[in-house]
Amino acid sequence: MPLEPHEVPDLRQHIGWDRRDSDYPVLLERCLFYAGSRDDQGLLIAFAYICGMGLQHGYLEDVMVHPSMQGKGIGQQLVQRLLAYSVQKGVEIVTATFAEEHASFYRKCGFVTGNGGVWRKE
């Protein structure tokens, strides 16, 4: 799906995240693959991507759905599409890092929650 450089930052802003304009289009060139959805007017309403080295393991990142479209199954469909494509590309393990309040969403998408850790620059 072709994307204009401003579209993902615009969506990030709508959901309350930093725009990170400088990440795009570089991120799109470096990730393994991405998927998104548009509304009837062509506005980007959902986006996520898988990154990694393109071997057995990938990382699901930045699952975003426009606030006006949340709760309609769009995010789950987006993740399922990315996971199916992962299998086609030989990625057998996909990891996602998420806040506890989003755990039920990821379980519905087929993820198993477990122990792990995250390091963040202070």
Indicate the average pLDDT of the chain: 93
- The pLDDT assigned to 120 comes to 75
pTM: 0.90
What are the tens digits of pLDDT across the range 28-77? Answer: 989 999 999 999 999 999 999 999 988 889 999 999 999 999 999 999 99
Spell 39-63 as b/e; 16+ CB within 10 A means b.
Answer: eeeeebbbbbbbbbeeeeebbbbbb
Q: Tell me which residue of 12, 106, 20 sits closest to 67, measured CA to CA.
A: 12
Angle ∠(72,43,106) on CA atoms, nearest 5 = 35
